[in-house]
Each structure stands twice: as C-alpha cells, then as structure tokens.
Amino acid sequence: MSECRSYSLAELAARFGGEVVGDGAVAVQRVATLESAGPADIAFFANAKYRSQLTSTRAGALIVGRAERDASALPRIVCDNPYAYFARISALLHPARPVAAGIHPGAVVAASAVIDASASVGALACIGERARIGARSVIGEGVCVGDDSMVGDDCRLYPRVTVYHGCTIGSRVIIHSGSVIGADGFGVAMEQERWLKIPQIGGVVIGDDVEIGANTTIDRGTLDDTVIGEGVKLDNQIQVAHNVHIGAHTAIAGCVGIAGSAKIGRHCRIGGGAIILGHLQIADHVDISAGTLIGKSIDKAGAYTAVYPFEAHQAWRRNAVHLRRLDRMAREIHELHKRTEK
C-alpha cells in the first residue's frame, strides 16, 4: 500500500466515467474501506451492510452508486457499478510491481526454448525444450515450464508454479504459487486385483484472461485435453480432473473438486468446497452453493444447493439420528393417513 502518485476526482472520472459530485479537485492516493480510509484515500460503498459507515468514514472521497448519490456530503464519484469502479481505480493507484525483462542467470532454460525478449524469467526457474514464453510475461522464481508448453503474452506465473509438458496457456493469465498444471489425470483400470495405470497423453489448454489461485491443480486429459475457457477465475486449492471443460467466465471458489470429464457451462459460479462428480454436464449460468455435492447433470440455469444446516451439537444429535429412519417415518405417515381416512 505504498505508491504515491495522486489523482483528482476529475482525472479519475475522465478516465473511467461517472459523475463527480462535490470538489473535483480533491486528490486521492489510495483506495481503502469506509472503515479504515483517511483523508488521502477514496473509499467505496457497494455492500448495504456497511451503510452506517457512509456517515462515519474519514475518507477524502467516495465512490457510490446512483441510489446513494446524495447519501454523503463528501466529494464523490457517482457511477453504475461502484465495486467495478473501485477495482479500476485500485489498479490505477496500486499498479503491479514492475519486473525487469530478461532471464536471471540462475534460471535453467533449455536451448530450444523461445523466450520473448520482453519477458522475465526469475531465478531458479526451469524452462523446458521447445517451450515458449510470450511478450512481457513474468515467470517467477522456481517455476517449472515443461517441454513443448506455451505461455502467452502478459502472463504472470508466481514462484513455484509447475506446468508439465505439452500444455498451452493463453495471454493475460495469472497463476499463483504452488499450482500444478498438467499432472497426470487419475486414470486406472482394474486388472487381476491390481490397478493398471492409464497413460495420460492429452494436454491442458487454458484460455486468455484466466486467473488460477494458489495450490490449485488442473490435470492433463487422458486422450483429449482438459480445457479452461477464457476469463475463468479459479480460487485456491481447486482440483480439476482430467478432461474437464470449464466454460468461459465461470468463477469457482476455493477447495472445489471437479471430477473427470465433467463439463461446466459458461458464466457459472461455484461456491467453496463444492464437489462436482464426473461425466456430468452443468448448463450455463448455474450457481452452486458452497459445500454442495452435485451428483447429476443440471440442464437449467439457476441456483442449486445441498447443505446440511448446522446446530448446537446436542440438538444435531437428537435430530440427525432420524435421518436413518426417514423411510420408516414416511411409511408411518402413509399408514396414519390410511387409518384416519377410514
């Protein structure tokens, strides 16, 4: 939280649109929450839960929606989508740290690899034979990019990402530390009481503008490719099995597991810890709640949930025991119906 160039509200509105209300000459240096902002900060209001802070904030300026145009006396920018507006201002005020182009002498780069002159390859990174790294991409310390893998332009692979051989990564892709792209899918055949490994000879194809969190794993396909559509956003510790397809602009929260050959639509949102079983199809614009296991295909947009409501432990014990008697309970009710109808 350090950069020092400041911008006036008028300058910000000239770049990003919106209406300035109040003194457009007021300058801000940082973005902040309503609660922690000071006079040099611009804060944003995008969650009704924090409405009371609109009056108490010490921010120098605000970003608010049309409906809150007059909810504050502070200098402010009024816009349609304050959260997105905040994102844009934050990116302007807090740009990513620049990384010098060039290959660190401590990197290990195969002779046949093609590294764009504007790219950066960090210390102790390994780039395999015939691999390609595109313009302005930053390959962090200790990253491994396998033989024949391609990384597009303007990508950022943080330290200790592993990309196996034969994977294709688009442009403007961000991959966080510890993620593994292209490990073998979990393919085994049973033969005479032993598991026989199925070679995994497909690859992984990742579209443009994808972001992948820390310690997420995306396995290579068995025969064809595992495919992550453009604009997909994956959080940390997600497991994507072989031959999965994730449609464009789908967002998936942490700890989700997606089993082999599942096909997930475009513009879906999947909550943390959800499990999607294999060989399913999920339609476009499906929202899946956190902690929900999806065991059948979903062919219709909408929200889907399977969450067991928590209780104090003793109350849970009393209630949960009946789950194993539900069928009997249903039959008893049926019996009572018949009895009372007489």
The tokens for 108 are 């290990």
Q: Which of these segments, 6-14, 17-25, 55-63, 96-104, binds a second copy (CB under 8 A)? A: 96-104
Closest CB 52 distance from a second copy, rounded Å: 15
Q: From the list 213, 229, 247, 265, which residue makes contact with a second copy (rule: CB under 8 A)?
A: 213
Closest CB 11 distance from a second copy, rounded Å: 18
- Per CB under 8 A, contacts with a second copy among 217-236 are 217, 219, 223-224, 231, 233, 235-236
C-beta closer to a second copy: residue 30 or 76: 30
Rounded CA-CA distance 77/261 in Å is 46
What's the DSSP call for residue 74?
S
Query: Would you call 334 a catalytic residue per the annotation?
Result: no
Q: Sheet of 108-109: strands edge to edge? A: 108-109, 126-127, 144-145, 162-163, 180-181, 217-218, 239-240, 257-258, 275-276, 293-294
Give the contacts of 161 (CB within 8 A, at least 6 positions apart).
140, 143, 144, 175, 176, 177, 178, 179, 180, 181
Q: From the list 14, 25, 73, 91, which residue makes contact with a second copy (rule: CB under 8 A)?
A: 91
The count of residues interacting with a second copy (CB under 8 A) is 131
- For the chain, the residue count is 342
Closest CA to 243 of 304, 200, 285, 208: 200
Rounded CA-CA distance 62/155 in Å is 32
Q: Does position 14 bind a second copy by CB under 8 A? A: no
Rounded CA-CA distance 182/319 in Å is 45
C-beta closer to a second copy: residue 24 or 58: 58
- Per CB under 8 A, contacts with a second copy among 281-340 are 287-295, 302-327, 329-330, 332-333, 336-337, 339-340
Instruction: Mark residues 142-161: x for contact with a second copy by CB under 8 A, - for none.
Output: x-x-xx----------xxx-
Q: Does position 184 bind a second copy by CB under 8 A? A: yes
Closest CB 116 distance from a second copy, rounded Å: 22
- Per CB under 8 A, contacts with a second copy among 246-265 are 249, 251, 253-255, 257, 259
Candidates 176, 242, 245, 249; catalytic one: 242
Residue 42 is which amino acid?
Answer: I
Closest CB 61 distance from a second copy, rounded Å: 15
Rounded CA-CA distance 304/289 in Å is 6
Q: Does position 6 bind a second copy by CB under 8 A? A: no
**Vertex 47: Cα angle to 43 and 50 (nearest 5):** 70
Backbone angles phi, psi at 248, to 5 degrees: -55, 145
Q: From the list 6, 8, 53, 177, which residue makes contact with a second copy (rule: CB under 8 A)?
A: 177
Closest CB 21 distance from a second copy, rounded Å: 22
Q: From the list 11, 116, 211, 284, which residue makes contact with a second copy (rule: CB under 8 A)?
A: 211
Catalytic positions: 242
